[in-house]
Structure formats: C-alpha cells, structure tokens
Structure 1
C-alpha cells in the first residue's frame, strides 16, 4: 500500500480557514494527512498562518485547554517567532471569557515565545482586565507599566473607560491631565468616554464645557456619540428644547443623526407625555433615510408601557414584524415588566409562554421579571413553577423576590409548596442564610415543631 501523502503547509492553512467546526479543525491540525492514521508530528507541516488560524478558532470556541496545547507546541517551534498579534488575540479571548488570571499568565509568557512585548499586548491585557472587572489588578499593573512599554492614547482610553465604568470622575479627570503632561493628545474616544460619564451623573454643565474644549483646546471635533450622550443627559432632566437644538447643530455640522439619536429623543418625549410629537420624529427619520431599528421600536414600546397603553405597545410589535425588524428579547421584556407592574400577571404569563412561538427565547431577565411579578401579585404557586425552571436553566432569582416567596408561603402555611421551593433554592445554591432563619422563626412561632424538624431535614439534604 502506498504511503499517504502529507498536506503542504499552504494546503493545510487553506483547509483550516474553510473548516467552520473547531473540533474538526483541531483534528485536521493534529493529523494533516489524507487518511485517519496518526502520523508522527513534523514541524515543517505547520506554518505560522496555520498556528494563527487554529488558535483563533479554538479561542473563539472557548476551547482553552486545547488552545493551550497548541500554544505549547508553538513554543517549541524553532523555525520562526510568532508575532505579538497572536498573543493579543489570546489575551482578548481570555478577557471575553472572564478568565483574568489566564490573560495575565499568557502576557507574562510572551517573551518565552521569543516575542517582544509592546504597548499592543499591554493594551490587550488592560482591556481584558477591564472586561473582567478586575480594576484593582489594572491599577497595580499600570503603576509599573513603564517596564513593559510606553503607554499610548489607547492605554489611557482604557483607563478612562475603567474610571467611567466605576463613576470615578475625579480619577477620570486625572487621566486626562496625565495625558496632557506626557504630551499624549486625547482623541475622540477619550473625550466621548468622559462626556458620557459626566452626562450619566447629570454633570451637564461640565459636559458641555468639555464639548466646547474638544475642538477649541484639543482639536478634536465632537462625534455623534458625544451628541447622543449630551442628549440623553438633557432628556433625563426634561430639557427637550436643548436636546432638539443639539440635533439641529449636528445636522448643521454635517453629522447625520442615527437611530440612537432619534431613540433618545423619542424616549424623552414619552417621558414628558409628549407622545404626539413622536410621529413627527419618525417622519423626519424617513426623510433622512434613517431606518427604524430595534432600539427605536423598543423606545416606543417602553414609552407606551410607561403610559400603560399596552394595546399600542403590541401594535408596535406587529409593526416591527411587518417592517422586517424582528423584535428582540428586550422588546418583550419591556412589555412583561409593564404588565407585571400593573398587576396583569395572567396576561404577562400568557405572553411569556408565547415567546418561543414568537421566535424569541426568554433570557434571565425575562424569568426574573416573571418571578418577581408573580411574587408581588402573591401568585405563589405560579411563581414556584417559574423558580424551578429558572434554577434549572442555571439562573438565579433576585434575592428579595425569593425571600418574599418564602415569606408568603410561611404566612399561608403551605408547607408542601414551601418545601418544594426550599429544595429548588437549595439546588441552585441560592438559599440564603437570612431566608432560612426567617423560615425557622416563622414556622417555630406557629408551634409546628414537627414541620421545623422536616424543614431542617430538607436543608441538610441540600
């Protein structure tokens, strides 16, 4: 029998690029022969591109143990040194998966691959730590940053975003000042992040001053994101005339308003009870060729639900479908929340059960809305059913809602359902100590000592 012919590095890379299944791609990489007989690995089969392709596929699929094996194999290569971008991507994969320690580890190991670290991998690490919420590790790392690389505008933008995420406004201003001291000019991302944070905290005077300074002092013209942030701040305090004036300023500066701008204005009009003006905005959107998207429709749905006009909200859903804009889970969650707040739990439950037929999969927010709503309406048996499904899907209920359900069952003396609920909470590892203490106290107070004993047994089983 003739020996099977090995794939060339070029052919292997071509096949890897076309293979969508990461598991099959890995099998192909590990055995790049035309038959299924394992062959001794020959490093000459693998090009830098093939390594890059398989690492990317495994990282996107979160197959990190397999990706680590490929990285270990890459470390043994002597024919070439991998470029830094490969490690930037790996760090980003770990960041998206909320694995900060692995991101730090691969950053430390970059030199062992005969690759020089620059500000690119440094920024990738900082961004991964930011995504993971590891702010303390970010700051500790930044203190000695000079020994790794010289920070650039992107570095400071990541720090600015971290400050704004935590609403550390004083620290955000310090980041801007340090950029000036080091001669690193802030860019539109820097300014947009700071202005967004100022507007979120309703420090609109400072935000508008910074907007003017963007062009006058820093030579950076305001972007559409800056205008949208300012409009959101103005809408929150009911200054719609100023918000509309900003929109006109955008148009004058040849910045075309997008759906986010109009959605912000629509939400503001609904908040002030001026829904009659919304249709004029929708006509203007059409004139500018700005197509309504899910965000715009959701703003309208939210507005109608705030006014308790659920019939109009449902009509918006129907219009979305007619216009080819598929409602998302947020569209339905807004209506579910509105119905539950109005005590229309039966209607909300009907809509919730109808979501799969409508092509929408309920998310954790959907379940929490229904569970909280049913508890508030004292529909404890229905709430227990939702709780069981919620726990089964790996979600956790809001602590106060779970406490309210248990308290209600204790007061009603429904010991059988109470035991079922406690079991569900125990299975989900979300049975809090204070809730359990409340159960023991209330049941003991009613002198149902045997029931207390049974409940203690239930807890011990969990």
Structure 2
C-alpha cells in the first residue's frame, strides 16, 4: 500500500501528486479525502489535472517529451475504431494515432479521470463549471470513449439549466474530435447540439467544415457552406469559412497525384476566392498565402504573381510565409536569382525577417548549381541573423566546399559555433522523456 501524503497547495504540486496517484492506480476515496489538510480545489487546478491526463496516459512514450506542445498532426482519413480494436486484439499491424498506444493504459486514464471528476464533487463539494466539464469531455474524446462522451454530455446538459455544456465547449470538442481523426463523430456531435440545448454559430460551422476538409470530404463541407449562404440563415459565412475551404483545396490538390484532380481543386479554390470577393468579403493575408502557396506548388506562377500584386492593391501586407512560397518555387525551378531577389525585397520592404525557412531553399539550390561561394555567403548571413542552420544544410555546404578545395573558408570558431548550436537544438528536441517512462521502468525493475 502506498503511503498517503497530504495534497500540496501549489498548483504544480497538486497536479504532480494527483497524476502520480492515477499512474499508481490508487483509489480516490474518503480516506484520501480525509488526508487532505484543506480544500485545494479550484477551477484552474481541476482543469490542469484533467488536461494532463492525455499527456500521461494517451500519448505514446515515443512522442512524450519530443515537443513543447502535445498537439499532433491530424490523420488524413477517417479512423475506424472497431477495426483498430480488432487489429489490437489479434496482434495485427496497426498504423495511425493508436499505433503505439497501450489500451490498458488508456482505459486506466479514462477511469481515473472520471473517478477524480466525481471525487472532487462528492467529497469537497466542488461545483463543476463549463471549463472543467469541457476538459473532462476532451479526455473522453482523446481516449476515444465515444459512448462515455455522449452519455457525459447528455448528463451534464441537464444540470444547472444546461450551463455546463455551451456552444463554445461543443465547438472546441468538435475541433478535438477532428484532430483525432474522428470526423464522423465530430459531425454527429455537431448535429447533437440541439439535443444539448445549444445553437450552432459560425465558429461551430467553421470547425466542422475544417474537420471535414482534413479528411477530404469536400462534398459535405460545401453542403454546409451552401447552407450557410442561404438568404436569412442565422449563421452566414465569414472570411475564415472561405479560407478553410480555399486552404484545403490547395493542400489536397498535390496529394491526389492526378493532374485532372489538381486542376479541378485549384479551380474550386480560385472560384471560392472570386465568390468571396463578389459577396463583399475582404480576404486577409492568410487567404492570399493559401492560394499563392497552392499556385506555386502546382507551377502556376503567373496566377501567384497576380495574387501577389492584388495583395498590394488591397493594402494587404504580405509576410514571410508569402515570400517563402515564391522562394521555394524559384529555387525548385532553378531560377535562384529570382528567389534571392524575392528575399531581398522582403527585407527591403520590412515585410518579415528571413529565417531558416527562407535561407535553406536558396542555400540548397546554390549548392546544386555549384555556386558554392554564394551558398557559403548566405550560410554566414543566416548565422549573423541569429539563426542556426539545419544539420543537413551545414553538411551540404561543407561537402560542396570540400569538393572545390575550399574547406578552409569556414574557420574553426565559426565551425564550433554552428556545431554547438546544432547540438543544443538536438538536445532540446531529444529532451528527457516524461516521468511516466521512469515509473514504468521502476515497476519493471521491482517486478524482476
């Protein structure tokens, strides 16, 4: 039996102690409640604990500690939870977000999160509000417990006249389900809003359209857009609605591998852009960046330059992302001087600060074109700007200099500065894994 320690007052201390209890599978009961010196529970502390559950229980040990945040790139197709469960039970190769999850650990996290949620309410009289209810719903969604999620939302919508389940919390839940690859479930959540006494607003429509576009379900997304465009509709579309669809059409155009599909989707993106202009919407820099990047990646540079000029006419200031799209295109088609001119224009007009994303395509293109000295000059310019090149970029320049017998152009001091910067960045990325891995190792040692 593990000794019981009184819970600390500091927020971080409470989170660490409660998560340790959950990992050790300790019960949240009256004995634990009586050992607490005072009532330490606030909305922020309960929310922080619930927010930490996915980090400790649902994340693979391969991903823990690899990045500052724990948001992952959403899968590009709808997940089939029944199929995933079947593959796990029959030891079949499983790919996707659930590939390295431990089902027993996920189930433990779900049970302990709900047990803690009810424990603070029963033994401390804590009144849950919209924030804590939303975090608990996020835990159920990220743990893929959909039946529990629907029952929880239905139960919470009956309490306090439905103040715990609001339109904003359902909108955030739709976003989480979309990021988990559960787009059909996100759509079901969207249509259940009336059941939870909520009315969808433009933000809810934008989130479900974004989730549908992520998995390539453009027909349903366009249906919702057309529904929003009906005369007198309560939630008319905004600039962000059109930007989501334009960005998705441009991103998915290159993933099809079919020229006809690429032309069709770019046509749809440009058609939506003209439609939003006709309806009086003013596109922002994000809308322009999506279209310009899509045109550059599909070798439609004339249309991209036309959009770039249109930005200036509408007093929409381009940023570094805008210029980087042109830089990547010109370097890919071996028009390096135009790419350099585009970067100099960005610096001259003070439209952004050139970083690794701006210099790297130019340096790589110069090395491939055997303009080694110019590549070395841009490498030094990047370092003087306060950035450290990527390891592959630096190795490419060093190999190019060695091939022309000019390896001595990079002195020892500069070489040490670059290698120390690359090593520091690698250590930061490969930082120590979370305490969960340490606990698992300790348990294995104790069992042995």
Report the TM range for the smaller structure's normalisation. Answer: 0.5 to 0.7
- SS for the counterpart of 1:260 is helix
**Partner in structure 1 of residue 46 of structure 2:** 15
**Partner in structure 2 of residue 73 of structure 1:** 155
- SS for the counterpart of 2:338 is helix
Q: Is this contact kept in 1: 2:366–2:375, CA < 8 A? A: yes
* Equivalent position to 2:207, from 124, 129, 145: 124
- SS for the counterpart of 1:110 is coil
- SS for the counterpart of 1:113 is coil
- SS for the counterpart of 1:111 is coil
CA distance in 1, matches of 2:129, 2:40: 6
Deviation of residue 29 (structure 1)? 0.6
**Partner in structure 2 of residue 288 of structure 1:** 385
**Which digits, 9 at most, give the CA deviation of each residue in 1:310-364, with x for residues without a partner?**
xx9xx99x937764121999xxxxxxxxxxxxxxxxxxxxxxxxxx9x999xxxx
Equivalent positions of 1:116-155 (< 5 A) are 116-146=199-229, 147=233, 149-155=235-241
**Which digits, 9 at most, give the CA deviation of each residue in 1:379-418, with x for residues without a partner?**
xxxxxxxxxxxxxxxxxxxxxxxxxxxxxxxxxxxxxxxx
CA distance in 2, matches of 1:133, 1:306: 42
Q: Is this contact kept in 1: 2:46–2:132, CA < 8 A? A: no
Is 1:84 the equivalent of 2:170?
Answer: no
Deviation of residue 34 (structure 1)? 7.6
**Which digits, 9 at most, give the CA deviation of each residue in 1:158-181, with x for residues without a partner?**
110122122422211111111111
Distance change in 2, residues 1:137/1:212 (3 Å): same
Q: How high is the TM-score relative to the length of structure 2?
A: 0.62
Deviation of residue 59 (structure 1)? 3.5
Distance change in 2, residues 1:256/1:174 (3 Å): same
Distance change in 2, residues 1:269/1:206 (3 Å): same
CA distance in 2, matches of 1:308, 1:97: 47
CA distance in 2, matches of 1:201, 1:248: 24
Q: Which runs of 5+ in 1 are unaligned?
A: 330-355, 361-462
CA distance in 2, matches of 1:359, 1:46: 35
Q: Give the structure with the larger helix fraction.
A: 1
Deviation of residue 302 (structure 1)? 6.8
Is 1:326 the equivalent of 2:421?
Answer: no
Deviation of residue 13 (structure 1)? 5.5
Distance change in 2, residues 1:213/1:258 (3 Å): same
**Partner in structure 2 of residue 205 of structure 1:** 302
**Partner in structure 1 of residue 336 of structure 2:** 240
CA distance in 2, matches of 1:236, 1:221: 25
**Partner in structure 2 of residue 451 of structure 1:** none
**Partner in structure 2 of residue 176 of structure 1:** 273
Deviation of residue 234 (structure 1)? 0.6
CA distance in 2, matches of 1:239, 1:245: 10
**Partner in structure 1 of residue 326 of structure 2:** 230
**Partner in structure 1 of residue 3 of structure 2:** none
- Structure showing greater Rg: 1
CA distance in 2, matches of 1:264, 1:327: 25
Q: Is this contact kept in 1: 2:162–2:196, CA < 8 A? A: no
* Number of residues of Structure 1 aligned to a counterpart in Structure 2: 317
- SS for the counterpart of 1:112 is coil
Give the root-mean-square deviation of aligned CA atoms: 3.7
- Larger RCO, structure (CA 8 Å, separation 6 or more): 2
